[in-house]
Structure 1
């Protein structure tokens, strides 16, 4: 299966004291021709002032579903620990319906201890959080199949992570898309492990869309994008920070994508 080259933007919901900055940014993404707008699922900034301005993930996705009409939306990625799996499935179905079938359900096992401590979740261990994700994914898919009304489409599940024993096995079993947080240097080895897990579960690895972040500026940005595409990555994402949400790199990538068609 061959996936088209697509451009994503992660609008990081931090350091923006006014939600209007994010509202403007997601609309600008749509106007530029960005394919997917992501946020992230944290409660505090990941860099800069650790107690700076920050917004919650899923309520924002509901707003984006109404504010936009074309691009796909999702979290890069939802923390499995923060919501009951059945509730998360219902939230995803609702946002999918609001957006008329444009939601990507990005999910991972979680890692930011401050989020857990401040909001009263059990941090556990890397292994226990991955085990919880493994238990949650079949519950999510089961609940999605029971909801009335149903999702508009089969909601794509994007799993974020690169752990070779557990995470990539879950990608092989459940994911439509994989964001490995990899670089051009680390991607090939991780993709090989994913292919081995796919063989174990009887799945064609080429049915999983590959996603990665793009880095660099100017010519280096385009060179990194071209190298990732050459490795088999088709969803290329840049992160932008508040309050300005500079989309210069996203615009350059959209022009480059369009020139390939």
Structure 2
């Protein structure tokens, strides 16, 4: 968790208020620019702007990206555990992993969380429950997913990285300690070290080695000084939300230059 690894930039293509042809073009352009990871999000309606605007489903899109792209890793930031049976999630992840492999290892990252957008639940017929019940369901689901990966034929091409989003100390960070390869949050730089200490304490109880855990954080509406501070606290994956149809590629280039400066 504290080893010095290269900085990576992930761009979240927000799948709202844009045609799919625009999303496809953005994925191609971003890979060509040199971003490390492409993300979408797992919702059924726009999160802002016109509430009934154009929007596309996450997992079918990820399968298309698996075929379209050649180099980038990709996944959802983040999948909602509530929307699909846990064993099905494992099987879909394994299949997308294989689609993306193209003669080598797959490039899929399994980003997941407990869910929060109540409209998704109400309109698609899922029980919303409480924040606690959804986190409990995520804990149960992650165990099933990892077990299913162990028996699928064919197996995944690699140990699929698990990314967990959130910063709640009692439940979410314990799940990070138990399952995650990547911890993603929006916490301020001055809060990272405390949250990492919480994860470490959970990891001791879980008897899990977290020496390779990657710390991830968001760049949107932040400046280089904040990014520098996050980097100083051990953050090595930086994500940037990008909204179409007028994708701000100049902003992406700015953060790619910052990444390359850190890795020089």
What is the TM-score of this pair, normalised by structure 2?
0.94
Who is 1:165 aligned against? 170
Displacement of 1:33: 0.6
Who is 2:181 aligned against? 176
- Count of residues paired in the alignment: 257
Q: What is the root-mean-square deviation of aligned Cα atoms in Å?
A: 1.2
Residues 7 and 250 in structure 1, CA contact (< 8 A), matched pair in contact too: no
Q: Distance in 2 between matches of 1:142 and 1:155?
A: 13
Given the alignment, which residue of 249, 252, 255 partners 1:250?
252
Who is 1:72 aligned against? 73
Displacement of 1:246: 1.6
- Residues 153-232 of structure 1: matches in 2 within 5 Å? 153-216=158-221, 221-232=223-234
Indicate the SS of the match to 1:103: coil
Residues 215 and 224 in structure 1, CA contact (< 8 A), matched pair in contact too: no
Who is 1:259 aligned against? 261
Displacement of 1:257: 1.6
Return 5+ residue gaps in structure 2 as ranges. Answer: none
Q: Distance in 2 between matches of 1:243 and 1:55?
A: 14
- Residues 50-129 of structure 1: matches in 2 within 5 Å? 50-100=51-101, 101-129=106-134
Q: Distance in 2 between matches of 1:74 and 1:150?
A: 19
Return 5+ residue gaps in structure 1 as ranges. Answer: none
Residues 109 and 132 in structure 1, CA contact (< 8 A), matched pair in contact too: yes
Q: Distance in 2 between matches of 1:2 and 1:258?
A: 15
Comparing 159-168 and 176-185, the one that deviates more? 176-185
Residues 40 and 75 in structure 1, CA contact (< 8 A), matched pair in contact too: yes
Q: Distance in 2 between matches of 1:88 and 1:176?
A: 18
Displacement of 1:132: 0.3
Displacement of 1:3: 2.4
Displacement of 1:204: 3.5
What is the TM-score of this pair, normalised by structure 1?
0.95
Indicate the SS of the match to 1:124: coil
Who is 2:25 aligned against? 24
Q: Distance in 1 between matches of 2:27 and 2:196?
A: 31
Who is 1:8 aligned against? 10
